[in-house]
Structure 1
Amino acid sequence: MKKILLLVIVVMAALSATAQDMYLGGGISLWRNDDLDKTSFSISPDFGYNLNSRWAVGGAIGFAHSYDEGESHNSFALAPYARFSFYENKIVRLFIDMGFGFSTTSVKNRDDNYNGFEIGVKPGVAIKLNDQFSIVTKVGFAGYRDDYYVGENGLGVALDGNDISLGLYYTF
């Protein structure tokens, strides 16, 4: 896993030397439910490179921690994708991210760590605030998940609150 992450960083650094269209963004979350004694937080940076006006390649890295009824869970995910923009005007861009992801989750004081994956598509909308900043949201997921970082297992389409993300992106 460390080699894959290092490879991604090296490739992104090499592209940034000549690129004007790299982007960096992501999101964070924090949740506390006193009734269930459950706390969770996550951080998920996202990075990519615009190949042209229609296509981009990128990836997301995620870390999540949750404490639920005395058990502490830590999850890590890596999800590369290809982004196709099918509509764009001066302010709004509609796109679809096609990709796959790998995750690993460990449970503190237990030996039953598990790995998971997903493959599918995530539709999204980018709202341009100025030349450098955009608000980006991805709504839903269609594809297959097996013990992945977030969401349900199996094949299908999910349009619930767990599959909505909102982030601020910086293009340089």
Structure 2
Amino acid sequence: MFAGGAFTVWSDNKEQSFLFDFCPEIGYLFNDTWGLGVLAAYEHESENHNGQRHISNTFKFSPFARYYYYHKGPFNLYVDGGVGVNFGNYRIDNISSDKWGFEVGIRPGACVDLTEGLCLCLRMGFAGYRRDYFTAEEHRVGNNGFGLRFAPEELMIGIEFEF
């Protein structure tokens, strides 16, 4: 089993904005090569724009298969292939709208075993298709279309626990 994820709480009194983001990731490794996992997320954001209150609540569910294709000592390279679905509710003052979207694609990554059960993970890029997918980690790719993007400014670094 492995577990990781992200957690954010941010408040800006000057901009009158607030952000809460909880994004756990958990998975099961069948062997040194294959694993299955899921990333689930909830985000709440509120802010004022020109006197109007904007509030959004979004959810994301992304199952994936992980394939480790290179092992050299504590260093491993992998690729995650999966499907992501998101949906959300947006409110501007008293006007509300719902959105949903999906993506299909791959994300390459690397991990370094720091100690038994603790890994430093790096993930960068996306190749695939998106339709109205608004909760993506790679913001410059866009919400719609097909393509690939591998850029250093989108490098994600995290810790995974293996047990």
Query: Which residue of 56, 59, 63 maps to 1:76?
Result: 59
The count of corresponding residues between Structure 1 and Structure 2 is 151
Q: What code does the residue aligned with 1:143 have?
A: G
Deviation at 1:134, TM superposition (A): 0.8
Q: Describe how 1:112-151 pairs up with structure 2 within 5 A.
A: 112-148=97-133, 149-150=135-136, 151=139
Gaps of 5+ in 2: none
CA distance in 1, matches of 2:77, 2:160: 15
Code of the aligned partner of 2:83 = F
User: SS of 1:53's equivalent?
Assistant: coil
**TM-score normalised according to structure 2 size:** 0.81
Bigger mean CA deviation after superposition, 117-126 or 84-93: 84-93
Structure ranking higher in strand proportion: 2
Determine helix, strand or coil for the equivalent of 2:96: coil
Contact kept, 8 Å, 1:122 with 1:138, in 2: the verdict is: yes
| Change in 2 beyond 3 A, CA 1:103/1:161 | farther
- CA 1:58 to 1:52, structure 2 compared with 1: closer, same or farther past 3 Å? same
TM-score scaled by length of structure 1: 0.77
User: 2: distance between equivalents of 1:66 and 1:160?
Assistant: 27
Q: Which residue of structure 1 aligns with residue 160 of structure 2? A: 169
Mapped to 2, the partners of 1:162 and 1:119 lie a distance apart of 22
Aligned mate of 2:8, from 8, 14, 29: 29
| Closer, same or farther: CA 76–164 of 1 in aligned 2, 3 Å | farther
